[in-house]
Each structure stands twice: as structure tokens, then as C-alpha cells.
A and B are shown apart, each in its own frame.
Chain A
Amino acid sequence: EVQLVESGGGLVQPGRSLRLSCAASGFTFDDYAMNWVRQAPGKGLEWVSGINWNSAGIGYADSVKGRFTISRDNAKNSLYLQMNSLRAEDTALYYCAKDGYGSQGAIDYWGQGTLVTVSS
């Protein structure tokens, strides 16, 4: 059974940093691209960042480019998101999400999310 378990969320002041982690299990982690997708309270889904299986292909939403860094450790079956210079508008539930079906951007599994609140 595929499991994606996010951690690292919490309350943080504007301008500070936070690092999210995602522990993956139930599939061959280094066979798949991974993503972070966020959802602000009461709002829609927003793709944040994606990374291919060997970290050679990485993309970021314009809203986080230059502030967030995605990475993965295939030996530890883990995905990370380093978030710097956090803003109030980064407040959201952050989902770890797995690509599937050998298709670009087809996210077949989602974690339950970790909540990030940016507030003074």
C-alpha cells in the first residue's frame, strides 16, 4: 500500500524558514517523480514544486521560485521542501504527491498534508 506521510509543518513568523519532509513507502521511490502541492484554507490546489526521479529535472511555481527548494533522498525514500523567506500567503496545507502511470503531472497518490501557518 502506497503511503506518503508529511511532517515539519507548524506556526512560523514571516521571514523565517521551515523544512517539510515526506516519508514514502509501499512503492519503489526512485522510480517516480514527486511533487509538493498546497491548498490555502478554503481555496483551491496550487502546484508548488516537482522533482524527477534522479533530481535532474526540477520545477517551481513562480510564487515560490527563489525562496523554496525541493530535494529528495532516494536512499531514505524521502522528499523535502526547504521554505525560506516565508510570507503570510504561504499559509496552506502542503501535500506530498506522487506522479504515476508514466505520465507527466499525473498525480496518483497524495499524503494527508502538513499545515503551515505563517503569522506573527
Chain B
Amino acid sequence: QSALTQPPSASGSPGQSVTISCTGTSSDVGGYNYVSWYQQHPGKAPKFMIYEVSRRPSGVPDRFSGSKSGNTASLTVSGLQAEDEADYYCSSYAGSNNLVFGGGTKLTVL
């Protein structure tokens, strides 16, 4: 159960796109299409943004999209807005009722 690997930081200017990666193994990210993404603002509980790699819950703007290739999943935020500045975490089902999170990425809107 090793944590998924995310870059510590990412940044972009308003209106630009930014992609955050999430690398695991064939036992988690690569083995299941159960990757989720969460947004967390300081002092707040995480917010559910993406599930099953690329599906958006109701209410999440379509500026947020997800994808996966092999053992690496990605979250892309298009048309960056100031309120997108937050920490982002990926997670993946890892079999046998286990879940694993990534270390988190701090997204800065320049």
C-alpha cells in the first residue's frame, strides 16, 4: 500500500489549462478504472470532483476532466479560475477493500 505519486505543485495563469498526474502501479491505478480526484481548500473538507477515471459528479464544472493511461491517471483543469487554487488529491481502489491516496498537488493560479 504505497501512496500514489503526484507532483507537489502545479501552476497556471487564469484561462490556461493545467494537468496533474497521479502515478501508481498495476495493483491500483493500472488495475482498476476506479480513480477519483478531490479538491481541498485550506481548512475545508475535500470535495469530490471526478470518479471512475473521467466521470464528473453533478455540479462539477466541465472544466475539470480526468483520464488514464497505464498506471498513470491525470486531472486536467481547463480555463483556470482563481477559485481553482487548492490542493488536489487522487485516489485509487487497490483491491481487497483497500483504497490509496496520492500525496497531493498544490495548484497555484498565477
Q: Which residue of B lies closest to A108 (CB)?
A: B48
Q: Which residue of B lies closest to A101 (CB)?
A: B51
Instruction: Give the chain B neighbours of A46 by CB distance below 8 A.
Output: 3, 101
Asked, given contacts A44-B103, A50-B97, whether A61 binds B51 with beta carbons under 8 Å apart, the answer is no
Instruction: Give the chain B neighbours of A112 by CB distance below 8 A.
Output: 45
Asked, given contacts A44-B103, A111-B45, A113-B45, whether A103 binds B97 with beta carbons under 8 Å apart, the answer is no
A100 engages B1 (CB within 8 Å): no
Interface string of A45-83 (1 = CB under 8 A from B): 111001010000111111000000000000000000000
Beta-carbon contacts under 8 Å, A86-105 to B: 95, 100-101, 103-105
A104 engages B34 (CB within 8 Å): yes
Asked, given contacts A105-B91, A105-B92, A106-B34, whether A100 binds B101 with beta carbons under 8 Å apart, the answer is no
Instruction: Give the chain A neighbours of B98 by CB distance below 8 A.
Output: 47, 50, 59-61
Q: Which residue of A lies closest to B35 (CB)?
A: A105
Shortest CB-to-CB span from A53 to chain B, Å, is 12
B46 engages A106 (CB within 8 Å): no
Q: How far is the CA of A103 from the CA of B54 in the complex (A)?
A: 13
Asked, given contacts A52-B97, A95-B45, whether A103 binds B51 with beta carbons under 8 Å apart, the answer is yes
A-B contact list, 27 entries, CB within 8 Å: A35-B99, A44-B87, A44-B103, A45-B40, A45-B101, A45-B104, A46-B101, A47-B101, A50-B99, A52-B97, A59-B97, A60-B98, A61-B1, A61-B98, A62-B1, A100-B48, A100-B51, A100-B57, A101-B51, A101-B52, A101-B57, A104-B99, A105-B34, A105-B99, A106-B51, A111-B45, A113-B45
Residues of B that sit less than 8 Å from A by CB: 1, 3, 32, 34, 36, 38, 40, 45-46, 48, 51-52, 55, 57, 87, 89, 91-93, 96-104
